[in-house]
C-alpha cells in the first residue's frame, strides 16, 4: 500500500529539526576534523604534510563542483529517502576512510565522502525550510546551520584528541559510528516529504540561471572570501596584534566559537523578524566593522591588549556566523520550486569563497603581516556589501516565507535511496 508523503510541518516536538541539525553536525565534523589529524596521516601513510593537506583541498573542490549537479540529479527523490540513505552511505564512506591502506585509497575515500556530503547538506537545509512554518523558517535554517558551528567547536577538538590518543583512523571510525546513529534517528523521526515537482533538468537549470539566483550566489562567494579570511589566518593575525600565541590563541578560538554559536542563533531570529534581506545586510556590515577594527588596531603599531582583540573577534564571530540563515532563506525564496538546487549552488559559492579567502589572505601575509590580512578582509568585505546591496535592491526577497508553497502531498511507494 502506498505511503503518504507529508508536505506540512509535523507535530511540535517531533524531533525532525534535531535530526537535520545532527546531519550537518556529522558532516561538518568529517569535513573539519581532518585538519587536526593531518600530521598523523602524513606520518602513517609516509607522505608529506603538504600532500596530506590536499585531502582538505580535494574535499572542498569536489563539494563545490558537485553540489549543484547532484541537487539537480536527485531533485525528485523523496527527501527522507535522500537524507537518511545519504547518511547511511556517509557512514560507510567513513569506514572506508578509516580502513584506507594507502594515500591514493584515502584520497578516493575523501572524494566519495565529499560527493555524499554535497548531496545531503543542501537537502537538509531545504527540508528544514519546507517543514517549518513560514514565520519560523529562519530559525529552522539557523538550527540546521548550528550543526556545522557546533561541530567546528566541539566535535573537531574531541576528534583531534581521539586521534592523538588512538590514531587518526579512530577519529573517522567515530564519525562513522556517530553518522550511523544519526541515520537511525532520522529514519525514525523525519517525516516523509516529496521531492521537487516534475520540472525536468532544463526547467531546474532555467531557475538556477535566473540573474537573481546567480547574483545571490555570487554575493555568497565574496562574503565568504571576506568573512572567513580572518578565521583562516587567525593565528598569525592575533600573534602580530598581541605578540602572544599558544594558550592565548586557544582563548581567541574559544571566543570565536561562543560568538559564532550566538551569531547563528541571532541570524536565525532576525531573519524571521526582519526578513532575510535586512538581516543579510546587517551581517555583512558587522563583518566589515569587525575586520576594520582589527586592521585599525594593528595600524597603531603598538601591542594590543588581549581583551581588546578578543572583543573584536567576538564581534567578528557573531557577525560572520549570522550569515547562513538569511542567505539560505533568501535564495530559497528567490528559487521557489528549485530551492534545494539553489541552496546547493549557494553552498558551492561558500566553498569557492573559502578558497579565495585562503588565497587572498595568504598573499597579504606573504608581502606584509597579520594586519594586512585584516585590511584585505575589510576591502573584500566592502565589495561583498556592495554586491549584496545591489542584489537586494534589484531582486528583493521580501518576507522569510517561501515564494512558492510546498507541493501538495503525493503518494509514493517506499523505495531505497540516498541523499544539499
408 in a structural domain:
no
Same domain? 28 vs 172: yes
Domain boundary pick from 171, 195, 219: 195
Same domain? 180 vs 215: no
Same domain? 168 vs 212: no
Lowest mean pLDDT among 96-100, 101-105, 132-136: 132-136
CATH number (domain holding residue 235):
1.20.1250.20
Decide: 29 and 151 in contact? Cβ < 8 Å: yes
4 in a structural domain:
no
CA 296 to chain centroid? 29
Residues 384-390 have a mean pLDDT of: 93
How many Å apart are CA 255 and CA 311, to the nearest integer?
8
pLDDT at 386: 94
How many Å apart are CA 318 and CA 116, to the nearest integer?
29
Same domain? 162 vs 242: no
Highest mean pLDDT of the ranges 72-86, 144-158, 287-301: 287-301
65 in a structural domain:
yes
Higher per-residue pLDDT: 197 or 33: 33
Domain boundary pick from 172, 195, 218: 195
pLDDT at 225: 86
* Exposure of 355 in the CB half-sphere (CA atoms within 13 A): 18
Match 514565520 to its residue by C-alpha cell.
135
411 in a structural domain:
no
Decide: 230 and 294 in contact? Cβ < 8 Å: yes
163 in a structural domain:
yes
Higher per-residue pLDDT: 369 or 187: 187
User: Which residue, among 126, 123, 104, 70, has the nearest Cα to 404 in the 3D structure?
Assistant: 126
Higher per-residue pLDDT: 406 or 270: 270
Cell, residue 192 = 516523509
Helix, coil or strand: residue 3: strand
Q: Is the pLDDT of residue 302 over 80?
A: yes
pLDDT at 39: 79
Cell, residue 247 = 594558550
Helix, coil or strand: residue 284: helix
Name the pLDDT band for 202 (thresholds 50, 70, 90).
low
Q: Tell me the residue range of the domain where 162 lies.
A: 9-195
Is the whole model's pTM more than 0.75, yes or no?
A: no
Name the pLDDT band for 14 (thresholds 50, 70, 90).
low
pLDDT at 404: 41
pLDDT tens readout for residues 224-234: 888 888 877 88
Cell, residue 77 = 527523490
Decide: 131 and 15 in contact? Cβ < 8 Å: no
Q: Widest CA span of the chain, in angstroms?
A: 74
pLDDT at 265: 86
pLDDT at 128: 86
Residues 392-403 have a mean pLDDT of: 69
Number of structural domains found in the chain: 2
403 in a structural domain:
no
Highest mean pLDDT of the ranges 91-105, 112-126, 391-405: 91-105
189 in a structural domain:
yes
Give 412's strand partners. 3
How many Å apart are CA 366 and CA 362, to the nearest integer?
6
Q: Is the pLDDT of residue 409 over 50?
A: no
Same domain? 260 vs 374: yes
The residue count for the chain: 420
Same domain? 215 vs 160: no
Name the pLDDT band for 295 (thresholds 50, 70, 90).
very high
Helix (H) / strand (E) element for 260: namely: helix 247-274
Q: Is the pLDDT of residue 103 over 90?
A: yes
pLDDT at 402: 44
Higher per-residue pLDDT: 395 or 244: 395
Helix, coil or strand: residue 340: helix
User: Which residue, among 236, 221, 237, has the nearest Cα to 384 in the 3D structure?
Assistant: 221
How many Å apart are CA 88 and CA 91, to the nearest integer?
5
| Percentage of the residues of the chain whose pLDDT score is greater than 90 | 32
Domain boundary pick from 151, 178, 195: 195
Name the pLDDT band for 415 (thresholds 50, 70, 90).
very low
409 in a structural domain:
no
Decide: 161 and 181 in contact? Cβ < 8 Å: no
pLDDT at 248: 80
Helix (H) / strand (E) element for 4: namely: strand 3-5
Q: Is the pLDDT of residue 277 over 90?
A: yes
Same domain? 147 vs 249: no
Higher per-residue pLDDT: 419 or 352: 352
CA angle 369–372–374, rounded 5-degree value: 120
Same domain? 191 vs 72: yes
Same domain? 17 vs 68: yes
Averaged pLDDT score across all residues of the chain: 82
Lowest mean pLDDT among 48-52, 198-202, 322-326, 379-383: 198-202
Same domain? 157 vs 241: no
Give 410's strand partners. 5
Residues 81-93 have a mean pLDDT of: 95
Same domain? 226 vs 374: yes
Highest mean pLDDT of the ranges 152-156, 324-328, 365-369, 402-406: 324-328
Same domain? 104 vs 70: yes
Amino acid at each position: 500500500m502506498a505511503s503518504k508523503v507529508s508536505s506540512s510541518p509535523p507535530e511540535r516536538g517531533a524531533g525532525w529539526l534535531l535530526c537535520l541539525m545532527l546531519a550537518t553536525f556529522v558532516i561538518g565534523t568529517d569535513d573539519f576534523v581532518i585538519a587536526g589529524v593531518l600530521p598523523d596521516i602524513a606520518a602513517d601513510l609516509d607522505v608529506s604534510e603538504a600532500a596530506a593537506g590536499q585531502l582538505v583541498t580535494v574535499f572542498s573542490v569536489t563539494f563545490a563542483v558537485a553540489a549543484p549537479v547532484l541537487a539537480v540529479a536527485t531533485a525528485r527523490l523523496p527527501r527522507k529517502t535522500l537524507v537518511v540513505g545519504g547518511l547511511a552511505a556517509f557512514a560507510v564512506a567513513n569506514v572506508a576512510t578509516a580502513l584506507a591502506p594507502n594515500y591514493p585509497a584515502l584520497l578516493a575515500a575523501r572524494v566519495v565522502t565529499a560527493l555524499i556530503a554535497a548531496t545531503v547538506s543542501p537537502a537538509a537545509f531545504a527540508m528544514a525550510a519546507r517543514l517549518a512554518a513560514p514565520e519560523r523558517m529562519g530559525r529552522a535554517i539557523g538550527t540546521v546551520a548550528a550543526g556545522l558551528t557546533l561541530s567546528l567547536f566541539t566535535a573537531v577538538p574531541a576528534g583531534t584528541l581521539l586521534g592523538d590518543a588512538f590514531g587518526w583512523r579512530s577519529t573517522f571510525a567515530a564519525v562513522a559510528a556517530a553518522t550511523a546513529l544519526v541515520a537511525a534517528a532520522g529514519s525514525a523521526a523525519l517525516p516523509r516529504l516529496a521531492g521537487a515537482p516534475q520540472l525536468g533538468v532544463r526547467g531546474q537549470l532555467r531557475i538556477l540561471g535566473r540573474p537573481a539566483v546567480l547574483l545571490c550566489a555570487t554575493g555568497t562567494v565574496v562574503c565568504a572570501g571576506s568573512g572567513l579570511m580572518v578565521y583562516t589566518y587567525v593565528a598569525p593575525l592575533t600573534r602580530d596584534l598581541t605578540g602572544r600565541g599558544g594558550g592565548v590563541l586557544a582563548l581567541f578560538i574559544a571566543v570565536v566559537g561562543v560568538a559564532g554559536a550566538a551569531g547563528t542563533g541571532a541570524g536565525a531570529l532576525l531573519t524571521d523578524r526582519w526578513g532575510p534581506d535586512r538581516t543579510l545586510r546587517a551581517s555583512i556590515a558587522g563583518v566589515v566593522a569587525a575586520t576594520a577594527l582589527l586592521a585599525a588596531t594593528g595600524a597603531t603599531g603598538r601591542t594590543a591588549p588581549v581583551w581588546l582583540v578578543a572583543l573584536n573577534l567576538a564581534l567578528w564571530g557573531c557577525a560572520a556566523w549570522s550569515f547562513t540563515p538569511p542567505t539560505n532563506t533568501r535564495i530559497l525564496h528567490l528559487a521557489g520550486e528549485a530551492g534545494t538546487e539553489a541552496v546547493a549552488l549557494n553552498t558551492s559559492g561558500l566553498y569557492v569563497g573559502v578558497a579565495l579567502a585562503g588565497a587572498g589572505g595568504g598573499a597579504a601575509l606573504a608581502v606584509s603581516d597579520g594586519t594586512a590580512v585584516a585590511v584585505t578582509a575589510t576591502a573584500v568585505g566592502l565589495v561583498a556589501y556592495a554586491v549584496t546591496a545591489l542584489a537586494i535592491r534589484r531582486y528583493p526577497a521580501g518576507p522569510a516565507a517561501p515564494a512558492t508553497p510546498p507541493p501538495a502531498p503525493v503518494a509514493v511507494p517506499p523505495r531505497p535511496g540516498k541523499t544539499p
